[in-house]
């Protein structure tokens, strides 16, 4: 008999995508929260979800003209 562990990763990724669809910007935070919650299921799901949840990195870098001298001193 086949079980969850026998499913290919590609199929599980499709299931995860169907469970947490990417719709709009205002729902993006909700999707990330759901993906982070799914990471608690198993090590295998954690590996698959991590790729989706953290597929991009957003950095906010201030413009040099916006910095004060005190911002640059530690």
Kindly state whether residue 72 falls inside one of the protein's structural domains.
no
**Which has the closest alpha carbon to 34: 51, 16, 48, 47?**
16
**Within 10 Å of residue 46's Cβ, how many Cβ atoms?**
14
Number of independent structural domains in the chain: 1
Kindly state whether residue 71 falls inside one of the protein's structural domains.
no
pLDDT in tens, 25-65: 656 678 778 888 888 989 999 998 887 777 766 777 767 66
* DSSP conformation class of 41: S
Q: Are 35 and 52 in contact (CB under 8 A)?
A: yes
Kindly state whether residue 9 falls inside one of the protein's structural domains.
yes
Identify the domain containing residue 15 by its residue range: 4-56
**pTM for this one?**
0.57
Please report where in the chains the tokens 């169907």 appear, as a residue: 18
Kindly state whether residue 30 falls inside one of the protein's structural domains.
yes
């Amino acid at each position: 008999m086949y079980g969850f562990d026998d499913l290919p990763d590609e199929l599980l990724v499709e299931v995860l995508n169907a469970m947490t669809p990417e719709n709009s910007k205002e729902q993006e935070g909700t999707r990330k929260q759901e993906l982070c919650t799914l990471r608690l299921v198993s090590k295998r799901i954690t590996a698959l979800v991590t790729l989706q949840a953290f597929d991009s990195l957003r950095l906010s870098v201030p413009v040099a003209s916006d910095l004060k001298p005190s911002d640059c001193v530690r």
